[in-house]
Amino acid sequence: MKRNILKKWMSCLLAVSTLFALTACGSSNAVSQTPSPSQSQKTTAPESSEAADTADTTTSQPGETVQPTTDESGGVTLVVYYSATGNTESVANAIAAATGGDLFELEPAEPYTDADLNWTDDNSRVSVEHNNSDDRVVELTASTVDNWDSYDTVYIGYPIWWGIAAWPVDTFVKANDFTGKTVIPFCTAASSGLGESGELLEELAGSGEWLEGQRFRSGASESDVTDWINGPQINQ
Ligand SMILES: Cc1cc2nc3c(=O)[nH]c(=O)nc-3n(C[C@H](O)[C@H](O)[C@H](O)COP(=O)(O)O)c2cc1C
């Protein structure tokens, strides 16, 4: 009788320990198959455009990759220009159309009036500024561009004033870091060439890979511009 009771106890103990071993084994499999929340966040790319869109408005955590924001066309070309009377603006528009680039107009905080631009008047604003380089510091309404880092090619356009780039452009060039960018100056002028205007801007910038650039006549046509954009200087 005692032996039977002992046998029953032994088989009961065996059954309980087998059940315990099986349960422990099952739970260890579950751990290895299901990633923890932190693992899945590290390896999964944002799935919706909504997630990507919010990337630039959220604060990034150390080690987290924030998607660079691109412009609507996804382009990487920017056409920056200053134009007092519209000639350089026409060329800038044609460059933007031909390259799919974005436009950024430089606007002096105090715009130049016709009287200001009268270079035949020794007392006009441009004449005074021309005669004293300290007076050529022109404040702009904006001198930095959204998503600047996403552009790899920057065209910079200006009218020629007394043989050099119209100085409102200087403010933009000094305010930005062109490292890693190809910079292509262009100008419009009544009769002068590009001269040293591009080199002088390159010196002011102190960074960027500056190409020689191009001069257009004041009334340049769209085909003048597209011929240049499709030519060897731009596509070397
Ligand atoms: C103050 C001033 C200085 C200028 N100096 C020159 C010059 O040295 N050489 C030249 O060929 N044209 C000169 N021009 C003419 C302009 O460069 C030309 O009309 C240009 O296309 C104007 O461009 P915008 O319409 O974009 O301002 C000058 C114009 C102004 C207002």
Average per-residue pLDDT in the chain? 77
Interval 194-216: pLDDT, tens: 999 999 999 999 999 999 999 99
Please tell me if the CB atom of residue 93 comes closer than 6 angstroms to any atom of ligand 1: no
How many Å apart are CA 88 and CA 166, to the nearest integer? 11
Query: Rounded to the nearest whole angstrom, what is the distance from the C-alpha of residue 155 to the centroid of ligand 1?
Result: 19
How many Å apart are CA 104 and CA 231, to the nearest integer? 24
How many Å apart are CA 236 and CA 94, to the nearest integer? 20
Q: Which of 42-46, 124-128, 190-194 has the lowest mean pLDDT?
A: 42-46
* Residue 75: per-residue pLDDT: 55
Cβ-defined contacts of 69-77 (< 8 Å, 24+): 69/147, 69/150, 70/147, 70/150, 71/102, 71/147, 71/150, 73/100, 73/102, 75/99, 75/100, 75/101, 75/102, 76/150, 76/151, 76/152, 76/153, 77/101, 77/102, 77/151, 77/152, 77/153, 77/154, 77/155
Taking alpha carbons only, the member of 103, 111, 114, 110 closest to residue 145 is: 103
* Residue 54: per-residue pLDDT: 28
The two three-digit tokens of residue 228, written as one number: 């240049």
Please tell me if the CB atom of residue 90 comes closer than 6 angstroms to any atom of ligand 1: no
In this predicted model, which residue has the larger pLDDT, 137 or 25? 137
Query: Rounded to the nearest whole angstrom, what is the distance from the C-alpha of residue 77 to the centroid of ligand 1?
Result: 26
Question: Hey, whose CA ends up nearest to atom 3 of ligand 1?
Answer: 161
What is the mean predicted confidence (pLDDT) over 45-58?
28
Q: Is 214 helix (H, G, I), strand (E, B) or coil?
A: strand
Of ligand 1's atoms, which has the minimum distance to the CA of residue 217?
21
Query: Rounded to the nearest whole angstrom, what is the distance from the C-alpha of residue 189 to the centroid of ligand 1?
Result: 5
* Residue 63: per-residue pLDDT: 32
pLDDT at 143 over 90: yes
pLDDT at 100 over 70: yes
* Residue 173: per-residue pLDDT: 98
Query: Rounded to the nearest whole angstrom, what is the distance from the C-alpha of residue 98 to the centroid of ligand 1?
Result: 24
Q: Give, for 215, the enclosing helix (H) or strand (E).
A: strand 214-217
Please tell me if the CB atom of residue 91 comes closer than 6 angstroms to any atom of ligand 1: no
Please tell me if the CB atom of residue 126 comes closer than 6 angstroms to any atom of ligand 1: yes
What predicted TM-score, i.e. pTM, was given to this entire model?
A: 0.73
* H helical segments located in the chain: 2-33, 37-43, 49-53, 87-99, 125-131, 168-175, 197-205, 222-229
